[in-house]
Structure 1
């Protein structure tokens, strides 16, 4: 069975042969552990696949992960105080709505958030190569809610949601049209899944009430997600924070794969709201990884599988590794995921 077929079976609850697992290293983790991480990658080919030593540049961060300030293609100013970690926006080009008339967003087909987009002919060739190799073909949408508050400023956007100035709808439509152009371009390449990312939660609750979400955000998400579903592509949404109160609306808008954080939402919360209804691409507890023992990490993964997994599918596991995770714990994460992968084989 190919990777693509197994992953689609997982998403569609059609009894996958194995649970899909992914380990992702933040640039700061690569920078800290360097060649020792290469040794680890080579010890776990089931997770990482073929790897050639020397393939990673441990010191290349790019503007998004470099220390200091930079301005993205939307005109938002970012500040980063820790190399290898993503910073946060500190300058908002539409903090004053009087600037909206003269503001121009970037070209969605030639300009990404940071830097130029890859040549679409090259992207098409990569997509076809992945398809021929039996790999899942991914398309990539862009931020929506996050882009709204990056442009406006978080507090100002929250006030807009209450006061509903006429400029708010113009702002929403502008960001939506950028995203729709990108979505339709990707759909022309026939991806298996379109991936989006928008952090909608805090540690304890959603950033907006369900009522506010339905009024101002859900219609735009539906306009982005429904064309994907109509084209036969699944919709994956990554969203940090506690989003349990938004799950019903996200599924209704078209999400078929949800990438939530386990600590903010709890296993029981995800079991209650998501299990059997949407494929859970579970973001394992990255706040646990730096401080736990290897035994505790194994128990964490085992509990996640026990609560959320099913032979029918609907669970994939994702582990993000930051610079504060010691090597022995990274090893424990990989070993636990190898066990989880074969849970129903």
Structure 2
């Protein structure tokens, strides 16, 4: 039997709208832990099979999200953060000077994911176990796999100058990066992942981080080749990007995307509805800048309801996700959980 997530993606009348509520690891030291656990337990539709940890609880922070522990990743990029659980910023770019390129070495996809080590035997066990439980399994590349990785390696300004100059070494760097990423995609396909994710932020608050022309020339070809490997196996592609990506949307979708995860208010619900409703599955990233932080619980309920009304169809094509980070008022966190559970049964 096809999973609810699959039916939502392919417009095959899911039983409910898939809703995900992600709690960033930093929240465990910014909110009262007993309150956070209580909210999770009150919302079993969002958190099925949840088992509370013993309190006090300290999550395992990702390697690039540890305060006072700078981390150098597999590409030689140096990360720093000021708060445990919050992904850091790259402050050291290994190829800030192209003269270092001759000695530069790429990571090994047999052992490394780009942001840390990988054990493919354990990945296989994880995927097989999830399938035994009847789960729809999504796996994929690390966040920031192509454009942002190039930016981390070279530095953002350097990268854009390289694009403007048609720097020959940039094309070589892109090709080697694609080979690395493509090896990971192929491995997850071989292991039986049901969907492959390509998470990468391309948007700013207003407009994209690179021009549509630069995206088409330097980034889209790699996207298209990697995504074609998924399509050839009948595996849907999930693409995530924060920010305003309206100017890039057509090219992103044209690369082979089946599910697009984009932010609601910065792109505009009316635009998202006109562009995607009933045509492509939208995994809507719920606002975490304005209404959910500064609005009332009633306004939050109205936001979720209006977005479901605008984008959902009885056939499917909509899922929604909220990422909780420190700073959202506690009453608004509860209101979000309530609203997401309430409106997931819209049809």
Q: Same fold (TM over 0.5)?
A: yes
Query: Which range moved further: 119-128 or 246-255?
Result: 119-128
Q: Quick check: 1:244–1:273 contact (8 Å CA) kept in 2?
A: no
Q: Quick check: 1:29–1:324 contact (8 Å CA) kept in 2?
A: no
Match of 2:61 in 1: 61
Query: Secondary structure of 1:196's partner?
Result: strand
Select which of 267, 270, 288 maps to 1:268: 270
**Structure 2 residue 85 is the aligned partner of structure 1 residue 84:** yes
Select which of 11, 15, 18 maps to 1:17: 15
Match of 2:47 in 1: 48
Within 2, Cα distance between the matches of 1:178 and 1:55?
A: 39
Within 2, Cα distance between the matches of 1:121 and 1:62?
A: 20
Within 2, Cα distance between the matches of 1:10 and 1:207?
A: 30
**Structure 2 residue 195 is the aligned partner of structure 1 residue 196:** no
Within 2, Cα distance between the matches of 1:59 and 1:315?
A: 31
| CA deviation string 1:188-247 (max 9, x = no partner) | 012110011110011111112212111111100001111011111110011011111211
Q: Quick check: 1:200–1:240 contact (8 Å CA) kept in 2?
A: yes
Within 2, Cα distance between the matches of 1:228 and 1:248?
A: 19
Within 2, Cα distance between the matches of 1:73 and 1:169?
A: 20
CA distance 1:168–1:55, change in 2 (3 Å)? farther
Query: Which range moved further: 135-144 or 85-94?
Result: 135-144
Once the two structures are TM-superposed, the CA of residue 336 in structure 1 deviates from its matched residue by: 0.4
Within 1, Cα distance between the matches of 2:58 and 2:42?
A: 19
Within 1, Cα distance between the matches of 2:19 and 2:257?
A: 20
Once the two structures are TM-superposed, the CA of residue 59 in structure 1 deviates from its matched residue by: 5.1
Within 1, Cα distance between the matches of 2:35 and 2:64?
A: 25
Match of 2:136 in 1: 136
**RMSD of the TM alignment (CA)?**
1.5
Match of 1:220 in 2: 222
Match of 1:291 in 2: 294
Q: TM-score, normalised by structure 2?
A: 0.95
Q: TM-score, normalised by structure 1?
A: 0.95
Q: Quick check: 1:22–1:317 contact (8 Å CA) kept in 2?
A: yes
Match of 1:312 in 2: 315
Within 1, Cα distance between the matches of 2:80 and 2:255?
A: 33
Unaligned runs of 5+ in 1: none
Query: Which range moved further: 254-263 or 58-67?
Result: 58-67
Within 2, Cα distance between the matches of 1:60 and 1:191?
A: 25
Once the two structures are TM-superposed, the CA of residue 257 in structure 1 deviates from its matched residue by: 0.6
Once the two structures are TM-superposed, the CA of residue 294 in structure 1 deviates from its matched residue by: 0.8
Within 1, Cα distance between the matches of 2:343 and 2:232?
A: 33
Query: Secondary structure of 1:290's partner?
Result: helix
Within 2, Cα distance between the matches of 1:104 and 1:337?
A: 46
CA distance 1:231–1:55, change in 2 (3 Å)? farther
Matches within 5 A, 1:97-176: 97-117=98-118, 119-142=119-142, 143-176=145-178
**Structure 2 residue 244 is the aligned partner of structure 1 residue 245:** no
Once the two structures are TM-superposed, the CA of residue 273 in structure 1 deviates from its matched residue by: 2.0
Once the two structures are TM-superposed, the CA of residue 327 in structure 1 deviates from its matched residue by: 2.0
**Structure 2 residue 304 is the aligned partner of structure 1 residue 301:** yes
Query: Secondary structure of 2:243's partner?
Result: coil
How many residues of Structure 1 are paired with residues of Structure 2 in the alignment?
A: 341
Within 2, Cα distance between the matches of 1:53 and 1:134?
A: 23
CA distance 1:155–1:19, change in 2 (3 Å)? same
CA distance 1:303–1:54, change in 2 (3 Å)? same
